A and B are shown apart, each in its own frame.
Chain A
Amino acid sequence: MTRILERSDGSHLAERELIENDIEAFLEANLRKELLRFTTVGSVDDGKSTLIGRLLHDSKGVYDDQLKDATLTSSTGEGVVDFARLTDGLRAEREQGITIDVAYRYFSTPKRKFIIADTPGHVQYTRNMATGASTANVALILIDARLGVLEQSRRHGFIAHLLGIPHLLVCVNKMDLVAYDAEVYHQIVKTFSDFCEELSFRSVQFVPVSALLGTNVVDRAPESTPYYDGPSVLEYLETVEIKGDINLSDFRFPVQYVLRPNLHYRGFAGQIASGIVKVGDEIAVLPSGKTTRITHIDTYDGELEEAFAPMSISLRLSDEIDISRGDLIVPVSAPLLRGRRVDAMLVWMSETSLDPGKTYLLKHMTRLIRTNVASVRWRLDLERLERDASVEGLGLNDIGLVQLDVHSELCFDPYHDNRASGAFILIDSLTNTTVAAGMLQGLTDENEISEARRGSQVSAEERRVRLGHEGGILALGGPNVSDLLKVAWAIERRLFDEGVLAAVTTEPEIARALRAAGLFAVLCGSAEEALNYSISDGEAASDRLDATISAILDRARASGLLA
């Protein structure tokens, strides 16, 4: 509330004076403040909560009653403020003594307003880190000066890079405990800079700090760190250039809502995801591809000649073409990627592991479509930051590259070119929980799809309409090959009788070709595909065969593999 900064340069005094003597002038200046969102990543004991508590405290972002609370119940000694307690929200966390979810905090200085997404940094909390990172301009990472650059520091840096955070602020904390040793600081800077060389940050800044004592947090402390001549943590946050963080070159407008107050008005409401739009611009509507022109840019406060991301507006168009929620309006010649087979990085966020046989819901901008995860190419080994290609699934807090088979065409930009049009979430269609955060990388390399599909002039949709069902692969495994085939042929017969064109194969390549042709492949005994069902001894016996087949098909239907 009262977020007036007390600093040695006196800037807080100027703002306080303005508030007391010329509130209108203060309000005018306040209106022009930029908003910076940053996320803090750190491990349990590296002093992250203390740093945030210190920023909030020293910028008066803490209420008196909260401060009292943190002082009285502190375990660190009577009358001492336990800064970490200022940021710990829920009871369960207080009991465990760690922050277990993303907490949002707010403060401002005379220069900017800030939103902090405070996230815990254990390896098991990758999902929280990803959540905080998804909207941040800056990632603030803490490194304990006594311990140096640990694996987890690299991990935090890598995840920040993966989520596309533009700027990285590395706080080398607990400098007081190493007597502000320049050697220690420079060694950490060197090691971590080398690591960051390979990552895609627009800027990386290091600051030697003591969160506990406030060294280089709000004010610079040249007496403690004479070898450091950069900004304090707060000065950095106030000045880092963030105007370039929003993509203003590629206009992308996902239609959220169609406004039809009367027969004469049809407006398409949405928030500009990226880029700039002007009245008169020629646009295309995806996925239909129909083109028209912008005639009006409407807001409650009146019409505009021009609008830009991230404004919420409504567009009116010169032609009456069919447009609904989920459509994407882009410039006529936009070099957008379009396809049904895409590569994406996933951060898995659910206790229930990725199930390759299951159909998920994919929400991309304002569009919700079904998708299958065709394959997991590799999982990121978070300890070594290496690719592990031996896995077939992803579990809670895993990060991995997958190939998606999306049920209708996706129109997108790669995440690293455009965060807004490259991001999506995966939703479990049965429990409705959000199971993964996704970042689109690009279309799947045609070579990796299948030789036979390249250049085909028959679309999957046409095949579906002709056959009455979608293609798919049902993978069976088990110790006895003759049992497998017996079950597979019985399934083929059953499905054929039910109107589904199925075929049995033992070759994964053939199975994929059959699926691409819109048929339902029953694949026996391949180690390449994740198994949908494993046939155990006796299940193929004549008296049990019917029950086995029913169980397999029930499971295929429950997972969305079969309609």
Chain B
Amino acid sequence: MTRTIDRHALSHLRLLEAEAIHIIREAAAEFDNPVLMYSIGKDSSVLARLAFKAFAPAPVPFPFLHVDTTWKFQQMYAFRERFARENNIRLIVHTNQEGIEANINPFTAGSQVHTDVMKTQGLKQALSKYGFDAAFGGARREEEKSRAKERIFSFRDEFHQWDPKNQRPELWNVYNGRIRKGQSVRVFPMSNWTELDIWQYIHIEQIPVVPLYFARPRPVVEREGTLILVDDDRMPLHPGEQPRQETVRFRTLGCYPLTGAIKSTARTIPDIIREMMVTRLSERQNRLIDFDEDGSMEKKKREGYF
């Protein structure tokens, strides 16, 4: 494994790794009740590995939280259970029961309402319920324009809201973890990673990821130009709509009715990296929620979406 460029210089990836470990330890030391936001996706898998590295040989001193909308891909649930079991993770799964009772789902409520109720509100409920004062997330600054200015320790008020105009200055690697009761901080150890960094790290570290990232023949329907996987029998088919087998994979994972597949033949991580390098699409282009309205990610973040 390439750790150094020459005798006393770290390669960029090991530099980012060292930085992330420092951030995780710093937050774990300064907060009373931190939690790791676990979304089952590739960024979460990297974040988890970095947390293992930060505390080895001791176990990770905080739980993992999955805010479950109940609409994730079945393979994601299977992966989550196995991951928690094999790594001895204290996993908390939280679902917004009010949303379930109101029968909020992506098909009838629409992506915006579904995401707000099941994800944003669900997350806030969980953070309040368990009294978490710091939440680690796998978000990266290069993902989306409004994230380019996010702090590594990102302050949230009593209502879990982010105020982009009123962020704490952040210098060197000296982080300010001081908050009052009820306030919290989102911590983003992978702020400076790019998607290529993520995949290359997964590759050299041999980190397991959900098989949906790799191309396989899968049953899909095409809606408004987006390929949607028919993942379970809750998916209402339009009249005359017939799922067809396509060799597809997913660049990002979320709720299956809201996550578009791409046609691909990438079966290995190097395949994926090659495909990614040759394609020029934004990471979130295949997530429908970003196209609801102008500046929608910034709006969601102000309201508490991760």
Contact = CB atoms under 8 A, between A and B. Distances in A.
B92 interface: no
Contacts of B11: 31-34
B224 to A, nearest CB: 16
A257 B280 contact: no
Interface string B267-306: 0001101101111111101000000000100100000000
B241 to A, nearest CB: 28
A494 B18 CA distance: 54
B278 A89 contact: no
Contacts of B168: 433-434
A311 B19 CA distance: 8
B180 interface: yes
Interface in A237-284: 243, 248, 256-257, 259-261, 265, 267, 269-271, 276
Given A89-B145, A310-B10, A310-B15, 17 more contacts: A1-B277, A1-B281, A2-B276, A32-B2, A34-B5, A35-B16, A66-B282, A131-B169, A131-B171, A134-B171, A256-B25, A261-B57, A299-B53, A310-B19, A420-B173, A424-B174, A434-B170
Nearest to B142: A106
Most chain-B CB neighbours within 10 Å: which of A23, A91, A256, A312? A312
Nearest to B55: A259
Given A2-B278, A298-B57, A310-B18, A28 B25 contact: no
Given A31-B200, A66-B282, A127-B169, A1 B270 contact: no
A45 interface: no
Nearest to B18: A312
Interface in A1-23: 1-4, 19-20, 23
Contacts of A399: none
Interface in A414-440: 419-420, 423-425, 427, 432-434, 437
Nearest to A67: B280
Contacts of A31: 2, 11, 13, 200, 204
A343 interface: no
Interface of B: 1-2, 5-6, 8-19, 21-22, 25-26, 28-29, 52-59, 141-142, 145-146, 148-149, 164-165, 167-174, 176, 178-180, 191-192, 194-196, 200, 203-204, 270-271, 273-274, 276-283, 285, 295, 298
A312 B58 CA distance: 15
Interface string A75-106: 00000000000001111100000001111111
A32 B2 CA distance: 7
A35 B15 contact: yes
Contacts of B283: 1, 63
B295 A91 contact: yes
Contact of A66 (B17, B145, B179, B279): B145
Interface of A: 1-4, 19-20, 23-24, 26-28, 30-35, 60, 63-66, 88-92, 100-106, 108, 113, 115, 127, 130-131, 134-135, 243, 248, 256-257, 259-261, 265, 267, 269-271, 276, 298-301, 308, 310-312, 314, 325, 349, 361, 363-366, 419-420, 423-425, 427, 432-434, 437
A433 B151 CA distance: 13
A26 B13 CA distance: 15
B278 A312 contact: no
B114 to A, nearest CB: 23
B267 to A, nearest CB: 13
Contacts of B169: 127, 130-131, 349, 425, 434, 437
Contacts of B58: 259-261, 265
A308 B283 CA distance: 35
A66 B281 CA distance: 9
A311 B276 contact: no
Contacts of B276: 1-2
30 contacts: A1-B194, A2-B277, A23-B274, A63-B280, A64-B281, A64-B282, A89-B145, A89-B149, A91-B295, A100-B165, A104-B141, A104-B142, A104-B191, A105-B142, A105-B148, A130-B169, A135-B171, A135-B173, A256-B22, A256-B29, A257-B25, A257-B54, A260-B58, A301-B53, A312-B53, A364-B174, A423-B172, A432-B178, A433-B168, A434-B168
A112 to B, nearest CB: 8
A308 B279 CA distance: 38
Given A31-B204, A425-B176, A312 B25 contact: yes
Contacts of B277: 1-2, 4, 19, 26
Contacts of B174: 363-365, 423-425
A300 B145 contact: no
Contacts of A104: 141-142, 148-149, 191-192
A19 B192 contact: no
A424 B279 CA distance: 43
A90 B298 contact: yes
Contacts of B165: 92, 100
Contact of A27 (B10, B18, B200, B298): B200
Contacts of A425: 169, 171, 174, 176
A65 B285 contact: yes
Contact of A437 (B145, B171, B203): B171
Contacts of A23: 270-271, 273-274
Contacts of A106: 141-142, 192, 194
A66 B180 CA distance: 38
A451 B5 CA distance: 53
Nearest to A88: B145
A404 B228 CA distance: 62
A308 to B, nearest CB: 5
A274 to B, nearest CB: 12
B10 A311 contact: yes
A28 B59 CA distance: 32
